[in-house]
Amino acid sequence: MATGSAPITQRDVASSLGVSISAVSLALSGRPGVSDQLRERILERAEELGYRPNASAVALRTNRTRVLGLLIRNLRNPHFLDVIDGFDETCAAAGYDVMVGSSRYDPDREGQLLDAFQHRAIDGLAIAPIGVSPQVREWSSVTSRPLVLLDTAGGPTMSVRTDQETAVDLAVRHLLELGHRRLAMIVAPADKSPDPERLERFRQLSVDLGFTALTVTTELSARAARSAIAEALAVPAPERPTAFIANSDYIAHIAYLAVADAGLRVPQDISVVGHDDLPTSASLYPALTTIAVDRREIGHRAASLLLDALHERPIATRNIVLPVTLHARASTAPPPRVDG
């Protein structure tokens, strides 16, 4: 079909073969009523002519749009770019388009985007929610379209997340082995935290393993995190943490900047552990110690769950927990000696 020409219709396909429009409709929709030989001829001619089904007409006929939604928290965090990539690749292979939105940690915007997805009649939704999102509960109450939660426990809802408890265990034990005893975890405010089990596990380990557990609570923007980490460092040396555990490599990089602002060094004065193992993390100076996760696999598994639910295929595991590993690099070292 030439660029700028009218789109090829079923009538065009029928006319080129000398068959009825109804025969073309049956063949293209996969319904019975035409012979296998005729179906093959119609499909071949439709491909030759460049016929593409009208999306609106298909949606009206099937009550499906063949569009899946993906709502994430923060496009500035490269973690989510890989999640989107895995999600989109899996959807494209199944013939589905993807609609992506970013809430930017704003509950009002999250609600607006959920409304938009619902009104666009997407076939299913994967969401990395802001904390325990009431809007997500409302989605399940007003639509039967399948839902998958990302990076948070799902309960009765399908979910894909990484093993957060093991992630904390690996980071804490690595730092303790280096000799650290004053550890700080950087976390989002309680109402926006996607993974409260991380903080719970951190505090439990402090009791079990005998270290001081500090928390730095901050909005997860670069400016807010840099300020909050700087405040945690602006205390006498015996009182400040000797290591930070971040919930992302993005925030870990901000910690590098805050440490430098305080006239300190990573790792000589302060060790830093990230979470994600972004491609750039090994290239930071010093190279970042981090918890590695398969970000594209998160997106792939989320899309696969939605597609299985839509096509009523058996789902072996509704709440998927992906493994994590620790990549120890140069951003962690034994703590400095502190007098006083």
CATH of the domain at 40: 1.10.260
- Is the residue at 338 inside a domain? no
CA distance 236 to 243: 15
Query: Quick one: 153 and 302 in the same domain?
Result: yes
Q: Are residues 168 and 141 in the same domain?
A: no
pTM for the full model? 0.79
- Token pair for 138: 């409302």
| pLDDT the model gives residue 57 | 52
What pLDDT, on the 0 to 100 scale, is given for residue 339? 58
Query: So what's the pLDDT on residue 1?
Result: 41
Residues 307 and 262 in one domain: no
In a domain, 3, yes or no: no
Query: What percent of the chain clears pLDDT 90, i.e. is strictly above it?
Result: 60
pLDDT tier for residue 135 given thresholds of 50, 70 and 90: low
**CA distances (Å), origin 227, targets 219, 243, 257, 259, 288:** 10, 17, 10, 11, 21
Which residues are within 8 A (CB) of 84 and not within 5 positions of it... i.e. 6 or more apart? 70, 72, 98, 100, 299
In a domain, 306, yes or no: yes
Position 338 pLDDT exceeds 70: no
Q: What is the pLDDT of residue 2?
A: 42
Query: Rounded mean pLDDT of 183-205?
Result: 88
At 68-82, the pLDDT tens digits run 999 998 888 888 999
Is 335 a member of any domain? no
- Tell me: do 183 and 251 sit in the same domain: yes
In a domain, 121, yes or no: yes
Residue 240 sits in the same domain as residue 169 = yes
The pLDDT, as a whole number, for residue 192 is 78
User: Number of folded domains in the chain?
Assistant: 3
Asked whether residue 275 is assigned to any structural domain, the reply reads yes
Whether residue 25 is found in the same domain as residue 92: no
Looking at the fold, whether 125 and 224 belong to one and the same domain comes out as: no
The residue that leads in pLDDT, 43 or 210, is: 210
Query: What are the C-alpha distances in Å from 74 to residues 78, 151, 222?
Result: 9, 13, 12
Does 328 reside within a domain? no
For residue 133, give the CATH number of its domain. Answer: 3.40.50.2300
Lowest mean pLDDT among 125-134, 158-167, 257-266: 125-134
pLDDT in the model for residue 86: 96
Q: Which tens digit of pLDDT belongs to each residue from 88-100?
A: 999 999 989 999 9
Percent of the chain with pLDDT over 70: 89
pLDDT of residue 173: 98
Show the domain range for 47.
10-53
Residues 36 and 99 in one domain: no
**Which of these three, 294, 309, 335, is where a domain ends?**
294
Range in 24-38, 68-82, 154-168, 200-214 with the lowest mean pLDDT: 24-38
My answer on whether 41 and 93 are in the same domain is no
- 168 lies in the same domain as 266: yes
Q: What is the pLDDT of residue 60?
A: 45
Q: Does 201 lie in the same domain as 146? A: no
- Domain contains 179: yes
Same domain, yes or no: 14 and 101: no
